[in-house]
Structure 1
Amino acid sequence: MIDIQNVKIIKYGQKLFHDFSWTIREDEHWVISGANGSGKTLLLELLAGKVQLAQGRVRYNFILDHDWDSYYEALRSHIQYIPAHAAHSLLKKHHGLFYQQRYYGSFNESIPLVKEIFEQGLEQLHELEIPLSFNIASLLDLPLTRLSNGQFKKVLILKHLLAGQTKLLLLDYPFEGLDSRSRADLSDFIDHIANQKGIQVILSDHYHHLPQVINRRLTLNNFRIQQQRTIQPSKVSVADKPQKRVNHDDVADSKSIVEMKNLRIQYGQKVILENFHWMIRQGERWALTGANGSGKTTLFSLIYADHPLAYSQEIYLFGKRRGTGESIWDIKKRVNYLGPELISFLNPRGISDTGFDYIKNRQKLNDEASLQELIVYLQAEAFMRKPLSQLSSGELQILLLIQCFLEEKELLLLDEPFQFLDDQQKERVSVYMQKYLDKDKTLIMITHYEDDITRWSEYVMNI
């Protein structure tokens, strides 16, 4: 049992939790939900022992030590917490790498291999009796930067489980960025460790199907409990591949924004893409789909001038073949990119500017009216006047989307733009993209969700 009694947390000079109490029984596995900024991540940090309390206490029936050193060591051994941005944070620890730089990993021998981050714990992997769908044997000799989002999630969870005698596993948005097969695999693995290893699981999530073992939901509202209830298990579905829809007959006179011919991408012995052709014309709305590791973000990197292979392939951007004289910065002036690593690379904890001032200064806006209109439309007034260091993952995602929508660029690349957004914010962003973006602006969105594809995209490229 875990018992939180009369807790008060003061952070950034604000009372974020006040007289907060919550009891978690041994047979309960919880999902924490609530609007962006309601306190989900902070509550997980509280359970992980990473938050200093101004008042109250947290007691665990599996931690009996009374002196601080023993208590702290027991926390580290028995409770494993995996933040939403753990993968990107791990990359930053090694020579300041961030996710988009993985395309240069094969040229950098200092990037650690997967097996190296396990240190001595690698020999204990077999003790977990890992289901075949969660096996990482084929990944052990790969550089960290070569992993897809789904592969990285597997590695991080296994690394944390081997770090001690885990009693409690805390996962912040574990399903974000995963394809349907990877979400099903992760759900099955969570069920496995809960049922076979007796590990209690608490996770935060908005709208995904959940592991069968999750039987309770806590809903937060402004750092208070709005509701606690029992929930029924839901079966994780594995969606069929979206059908490729490519038809340019009605826009044949539009100018080409991106064209790829006979594209081949290979890393070592593994061929990612071969004989790949893709034409994107001005004003089109595309969904780019495919399993984790299929090459979606690689295609984005070729368009955004981040991938060295662009020079050896037949790739045309804005009518010019890549490598015929234009610089990387010439391309980036015309293309805007939003990807999952940007929040981590932004390092928001070190930024004291408010969200409003951060965007205004970066965009060098003379007229603030367009920024204010976006803030009002997305109902972001409350948090855009806070420092970036105080914003939640969902609030930071909205900030980055606002910045993207404001920039007058011809091509917008959105890699999982709805990550971390609650239902209401996802709806507002989706409607904005459908109704209010400049019709001449070209959009390509990476997504794993059929609802997103059928709702707003005109064309689908499945790889």
Structure 2
Amino acid sequence: MQEPFVHINKLTIQYNHKKVLDNLSWSINKGENYLLGGESGSGKTTLAQAIVGDEIMEQTIKISYTQHSLLPAKAIYISNWYQFTNLEGDRNFYYQQRYNKHQGQDTLTVQAELEHYGQKENLDLKDIEQRIKDFGFESTRATQLIELSSGEHKKLQLIKGLWAKPQLLIIDEPYTGLDKQSRITLNNWLDDLVQEGVQLILISNDQQLPRAINRFAHIVNGQLEQVDNRNQLTRNAPREKMRLPDFLLASPPTPYKVVAKLQNIYIRYGDKEVLKDVSWEVKVGEKWLLQGPNGSGKSTLLSLINGDHPQSYGLDIYLFDQKRGTGESIWDIKEKIGIISPEMHWYFDQTATVWHTIASGFYDSIGWFVDVKFEEKKKIEELLAFFGLTEFKDHLLQSLPLGKQRLALLARTIVKNPPLLVLDEPCQGLDAEQTKYFNDVVDELAQHGKTLIYVGHYESLLPSCIEHRIVLEKGQVKAIEDILENVE
């Protein structure tokens, strides 16, 4: 009988006295390419990290590599989050730093990062030149790592891992942050790698998968269970609909007619134009969808509205009926905006508890630095209950499953009941049930005087309240249109 390619025998892992994996066993044979799905927080990421880790004893996890294969005898794990360092090997960045060009020289360029990785892994960059172009990543080569959007960081992760062609490739949430065409390109590349002998484990609840996926499993009560197809994978139970806290039912004051007006905006980093002649007006109460491929300029456009971009001074920008740079402070702007983005999540204070994370929304900080008032404490507790986070309020944000982290940050976004919600891919890391739950919340909030700017790639996973769409492509406005009847 052929020896399994991966054999796990009674693996137990626990955190804080709670067993995440409980005597888990799993055998993967050659040619079996798995989708590992199931509920958020069930232990999928923990299992993946254990398979590629160096700390597990051989009798617990054994990978039987093919010794005479042209592919390297190694396993590579591509995490959900991309972690990069500055030139001194440190991660001490701050959120607005990615927009400050003079401070962006602290990290490698994409080209230098690829060259460094290729040298380390003995790889030839020429082998993936076409893949880089197919991924729409060619134009980023001279870009500093800190300047990349979350979708571009994901592409860089994937390019490096797939370039190495390991015998075992494990990808955690491979499609997070990728636009529609990039997901198709990725699946085609993965299918090609399987033909060359790479074996896959994908951690995902996505519906668009490589053709090569032929096995399905999930983790239930710390044990791995195999199922016949992805429809049998466990899902988080639909969340019970709850009434919004009373303070969110009150419409915030809006003594202005226009939330944002941008006219003929150009943003350049050296010779690179990020935004080219962009004009856009958002009136009070409007609900907008902002779309475009990865790297099209969406994050930069939003940074002009939320006050984070240093080039916004001197441009023809009006925020809340006041021209930018005519005496308003950054805090005058931020007090009117509730924002969430993948980049904010990435830079968020690693020492913050869930409670402190939500509290920081009152002060627009990436963390929590002051005491909150009694009424503010009451609102925090109401949101903890509303999002089902009360039992986790004293846990570190980063210790929670990614889905719960996002819910905590969503609570932070609305805790001060702002008139403008800027939701940049707010449901990254949430499964379909959690996404529907949150978008239902957005629809309810929209009924109470909110203006909305929502960034999302999936047409079928959007709030129903959206009325208008602006589409960017290569830094330019490709379309502005009404979509009230087109959104499903």
Give the counterpart letter for 1:410 in structure 2: P
| Residues 154 and 177 in structure 2, CA contact (< 8 A), matched pair in contact too | no
> In structure 1, what is the equivalent of residue 134 of structure 2?
133
Please state how far the C-alpha of 1:231 moved relative to its aligned partner: 5.6
Give the counterpart letter for 1:19 in structure 2: N
> In structure 2, what is the equivalent of residue 210 of structure 1?
209
| Residues 87 and 153 in structure 1, CA contact (< 8 A), matched pair in contact too | no
> In structure 2, what is the equivalent of residue 429 of structure 1?
438
* TM-superposition CA deviations, 1:8-38 (whole Å, max 9, x none): 1122222211111111122111122122211
Please state how far the C-alpha of 1:137 moved relative to its aligned partner: 5.0
> In structure 2, what is the equivalent of residue 119 of structure 1?
116
Please state how far the C-alpha of 1:408 moved relative to its aligned partner: 2.8
> In structure 2, what is the equivalent of residue 159 of structure 1?
160
SS of residue matched to 1:424? helix
Please state how far the C-alpha of 1:407 moved relative to its aligned partner: 2.0
> In structure 2, what is the equivalent of residue 105 of structure 1?
101
| Residues 166 and 199 in structure 1, CA contact (< 8 A), matched pair in contact too | yes
Give the counterpart letter for 1:119 in structure 2: H
Please state how far the C-alpha of 1:399 moved relative to its aligned partner: 0.7
Bigger shift: 115-124 or 255-264?
Answer: 115-124
| Residues 446 and 452 in structure 2, CA contact (< 8 A), matched pair in contact too | no
Please state how far the C-alpha of 1:129 moved relative to its aligned partner: 7.7
What CA distance in whole angstroms lies between the structure 1 residues aligned with 2:346 and 2:439?
24
| Residue in structure 2 matching 1:310, options 301, 309, 312 | 312
Give the counterpart letter for 2:175 in structure 1: F
| Residue in structure 1 matching 2:34, options 30, 33, 47 | 30
Please state how far the C-alpha of 1:50 moved relative to its aligned partner: 5.8
What CA distance in whole angstroms lies between the structure 2 residues aligned with 1:315 and 1:126?
44
Give the counterpart letter for 1:430 in structure 2: N
| Residue in structure 2 matching 1:85, options 61, 81, 88 | 81
What CA distance in whole angstroms lies between the structure 2 residues aligned with 1:103 and 1:91?
18
> In structure 2, what is the equivalent of residue 181 of structure 1?
181
CA spacing shift, 1:127–1:294, aligned 2, 3 Å: closer
For 1:24-423, list aligned pairs within 5 A: 24-49=28-53, 57-62=60-65, 78-87=74-83, 93=89, 96-97=92-93, 100-105=96-101, 108-117=104-113, 118-119=115-116, 121=118, 124-127=124-127, 130-131=130-131, 132-134=133-135, 136=137, 138-161=139-162, 166-196=166-196, 198-230=197-229, 255-348=257-350, 350-351=351-352, 353=353, 355-356=354-355, 358-360=357-359, 363=362, 364=372, 366-367=374-375, 368-384=377-393, 386-423=395-432
* TM-superposition CA deviations, 1:193-220 (whole Å, max 9, x none): 2222x11121211234111212222222
Give the counterpart letter for 1:399 in structure 2: A
Q: Which runs of 5+ in 2 are unaligned?
A: 232-254, 363-371, 473-488
What CA distance in whole angstroms lies between the structure 1 residues aligned with 2:423 and 2:282?
15
| Residues 32 and 40 in structure 1, CA contact (< 8 A), matched pair in contact too | yes
> In structure 1, what is the equivalent of residue 483 of structure 2?
none
CA spacing shift, 1:290–1:169, aligned 2, 3 Å: same
CA spacing shift, 1:49–1:442, aligned 2, 3 Å: same
| Residue in structure 1 matching 2:12, options 8, 13, 19 | 8
Give the counterpart letter for 2:455 in structure 1: I
CA spacing shift, 1:184–1:382, aligned 2, 3 Å: farther
What CA distance in whole angstroms lies between the structure 1 residues aligned with 2:361 and 2:293?
35
What CA distance in whole angstroms lies between the structure 2 residues aligned with 1:303 and 1:360?
23
SS of residue matched to 2:460? helix
| Residues 37 and 222 in structure 1, CA contact (< 8 A), matched pair in contact too | no
CA spacing shift, 1:112–1:280, aligned 2, 3 Å: same
Please state how far the C-alpha of 1:282 moved relative to its aligned partner: 1.7
CA spacing shift, 1:358–1:400, aligned 2, 3 Å: closer
SS of residue matched to 1:259? strand
Please state how far the C-alpha of 1:416 moved relative to its aligned partner: 0.3
CA spacing shift, 1:155–1:99, aligned 2, 3 Å: farther
> Share of identical aligned residues, percent?
31
SS of residue matched to 2:210? coil
Please state how far the C-alpha of 1:112 moved relative to its aligned partner: 1.4
What CA distance in whole angstroms lies between the structure 2 residues aligned with 1:271 and 1:402?
35
SS of residue matched to 1:280? strand
Give the counterpart letter for 1:317 in structure 2: L
What CA distance in whole angstroms lies between the structure 2 residues aligned with 1:336 and 1:393?
20
- RMSD in angstroms over aligned alpha carbons? 3.1
Give the counterpart letter for 2:176 in structure 1: E
| Residues 8 and 20 in structure 1, CA contact (< 8 A), matched pair in contact too | yes
Return the structure number with greater helix share: 1
What CA distance in whole angstroms lies between the structure 2 residues aligned with 1:4 and 1:382?
33
CA spacing shift, 1:195–1:37, aligned 2, 3 Å: same
| Residue in structure 1 matching 2:453, options 434, 444, 449 | 444
CA spacing shift, 1:266–1:394, aligned 2, 3 Å: same
Please state how far the C-alpha of 1:78 moved relative to its aligned partner: 0.8
Please state how far the C-alpha of 1:444 moved relative to its aligned partner: 0.8
Give the counterpart letter for 1:181 in structure 2: Q
Please state how far the C-alpha of 1:162 moved relative to its aligned partner: 5.5
Give the counterpart letter for 1:409 in structure 2: P
CA spacing shift, 1:428–1:377, aligned 2, 3 Å: farther
Q: Which runs of 5+ in 1 are unaligned?
A: 65-75, 233-252
| Residues 149 and 293 in structure 1, CA contact (< 8 A), matched pair in contact too | no
Name the TM-score, length of structure 2 as normaliser: 0.78
CA spacing shift, 1:290–1:106, aligned 2, 3 Å: farther
> In structure 2, what is the equivalent of residue 67 of structure 1?
none
CA spacing shift, 1:346–1:129, aligned 2, 3 Å: closer
What CA distance in whole angstroms lies between the structure 1 residues aligned with 2:412 and 2:174?
26
| Residues 89 and 344 in structure 1, CA contact (< 8 A), matched pair in contact too | no
SS of residue matched to 1:455? coil
Give the counterpart letter for 1:85 in structure 2: W
Number of residues paired by the alignment? Answer: 426
CA spacing shift, 1:186–1:100, aligned 2, 3 Å: farther
Give the counterpart letter for 2:374 in structure 1: N
Bigger shift: 143-152 or 297-306?
Answer: 143-152
Please state how far the C-alpha of 1:156 moved relative to its aligned partner: 2.1
What CA distance in whole angstroms lies between the structure 2 residues aligned with 1:206 and 1:385?
29
Please state how far the C-alpha of 1:376 moved relative to its aligned partner: 3.7
